[in-house]
Amino acid sequence: MANGRAASLFHAEGRLRQECFSLPALRALRAAVDAAIRTCWPSIRSPHLFIGLLEEADEPIAQWLERNQLQASQLRQTFLELFDMSHELTPPQLQLHRSYFSEHLLQILEQAQQRAQQRGDALVTTADLLATVLTSEPSVIAECLRREGYDVAPLRESVQNL
């Protein structure tokens, strides 16, 4: 993840540049770290980001959930259960640092930053994060939703309007 755009989301030593994110997006990223710790994953992955977005749902996320008749608490619990590895591993020490993010999640963050820039915004928002976590390929989130019986196409379409 050495290109300029993605690198600009992190300080040289790897800490997340918090000033690149809206406060709700930053809260969602912190909740993603908490979700990774709760599920005992050794890194922060896209499902953890989705859980964090659901846990810290601000107005755009709440509107997307309502528009699609989704329950944040039910989805969050489903994803926590799907990705729970606590029976296999001990809780890791994680933080908002590049070394703890999966490669795929780093790509999602980069795409979210590009989406924000295309909108003319300097800050990555929760809407940018949700749109990219649902539409990036491969999307673990979309696949899990599909397996749980959700029609993913309208979910992906409606997120583009946030």
Q: List the single range of 46-55, 106-115, 152-161 with lowest mean pLDDT.
A: 152-161
Mean pLDDT across 132-156? 93
pLDDT of 95 > 70? The answer is yes
The Cα–Cα gap between 135 and 159 comes to: 9
pLDDT value for 6: 52
pLDDT tier at 88 (50, 70, 90 boundaries)? confident
End-to-end CA distance of the chain: 27
Q: For the residues 97-106, what does the mean pLDDT come to?
A: 96
- The CATH code that applies to domain 4-11+20-85+92-159 is 1.10.1780.10
| pLDDT at site 87 | 81
Whole-angstrom distance, CA of residue 4 vs CA of residue 18 = 17
Q: Yes or no: say if 125 and 153 are a contact pair by the CB < 8 Å rule.
A: no
**Is residue 94 very low, low, confident or very high in pLDDT (cuts 50, 70, 90)?**
very high
Percent residues over pLDDT 70 in the chain = 96
Give tens-digit pLDDT for 16-27. 999 999 999 999
DSSP annotation of 91: P
pLDDT at 143: 93
Average pLDDT, the chain: 92
Work out the average pLDDT over 123-135: 96
Residue 94 near residue 100 (C-beta atoms within 8 A): yes
Phi, psi for 44 (deg, rounded to 5): -90, 125
- Residue 118: pLDDT over 50: yes
Please state the rounded mean pLDDT for residues 39-54. Answer: 96
Domain extents for the chain? 4-11+20-85+92-159
| Beta-ladder partners of 10 | 16
**pLDDT of 162:** 83
